[in-house]
A and B are shown apart, each in its own frame.
Chain A
Amino acid sequence: MHIPDGYLGPGTCGLFYLAMLPIWTVASRIVKKTLNSRQVPLLAIGAAFSFVIMMFNVPIPGGTTGHAVGAVLAAILLGPWAACIAVTVALVIQALLFGDGGITAIGANCFNMAFVEVFTGYYLYRFISGSSLVTSGRRVIAAGVAGYVGINIAALSAAFMFGIQPLLYKSAGGQALYCPYGLNVALPVMLGEHLLVFGWVEAIVTALVIKYLQKHSPELLAEGRKIQ
């Protein structure tokens, strides 16, 4: 889901940098209000976990690869605004140091994975968890469902960005200038592979870590201690 340089036109890239600007600003303000020094290591772990889990490329035999993002897990542990910052850090470093995701597309990639996935996953987890105990099985299910839906909404958003490019940017001869595949290809492929494979990877990773934390550190899952 790391859109490289050259797949999105300049207008689309600019638009999503612009869209992320207020989100990053609000995230910084909110985290500034609530972050204390004991929580900094947890924020670092959120960024580190998201960074490394994205390196686990899962193959569709004979086809493409994809991976979990860890954004919903970060959102459950840190709250959505701090998670937005943690995933942004991971994505920026992936783009700058490793060329994974384009530098022109950092705004777009952060919009999909550090905003759309984080917030969808967080609120779905809260909604499904309801008032259940932090150690309840319902929270494990909630984490899995939130992971699955969160990454799929992010994939939908990325597919939409890819798919509108041929409509927006064409050469005089009618050839696409950036991503050549329209919505009719991008939507079914991106959504299909995430619904069938990568969404389940995100669901399992998210649910397993929550299950582990319920056993070893339920206080980490308690509401109110988060960097909201």
Chain B
Amino acid sequence: MKIISKLWILIGVLIILSPLGLLLPEHFKAGSAWGEWGADEMRQLAGYVPKGLEKLSSLWSAPIPDYAFKGWEDKPLPALSLAYISSAAIGILVCVVAVFILAKFLKK
């Protein structure tokens, strides 16, 4: 098999395993990455929400926020894992399409 096909299989395996990136932090009670807190977390940590941060933090409303479908925030972990896998697949599909479109412009 060609190496490119093998690497795509590797990406496929990573998509299926991706919920580990959700479940392991949950299991070990690890919170957000440092410096990636939402406004509420910031209030707890720093005692206040910096004014500029409050204003800018809601600037962009992503269609699939934090790799979970909108309104799924309180769903149980299996549902969130499914959303995570879907997000990985969607994100990678968009990455591939974007690279192929870019390549159309960049090809010699």
Contacts and interface: CB of A to CB of B under 8 A. Distances in A.
Interface of A: 1-7, 9, 28, 31-37, 40-45, 47-49, 51-53, 55-67, 85-86, 89-90, 92-100, 102-104, 158, 162, 169, 171, 175-181, 186, 189-190, 193, 213, 216-217, 220
Contacts of B55: 6
B88 interface: yes
Interface of B: 3-4, 6-8, 10-11, 14-15, 17-18, 20-22, 24-25, 27-36, 42, 46, 48, 50-57, 59-67, 84, 87-88, 90-92, 94-96, 98-100, 102-103, 106-108
Contacts of B32: 64-65
A9 to B, nearest CB: 6
B4 A42 contact: yes
A216 B6 contact: yes
7 contacts: A47-B95, A55-B67, A56-B17, A57-B21, A99-B66, A104-B59, A216-B3
A52 B24 contact: no
A49, A55, A103, A158: most-surrounded residue (chain B CB, <10 A): A55
A180 B50 contact: yes
Nearest to B47: A180
B34 A193 contact: yes
Contacts of B22: 57
B34 to A, nearest CB: 5
B17, B52, B65, B90: most-surrounded residue (chain A CB, <10 A): B52
A58 B67 CA distance: 16
B90 to A, nearest CB: 7
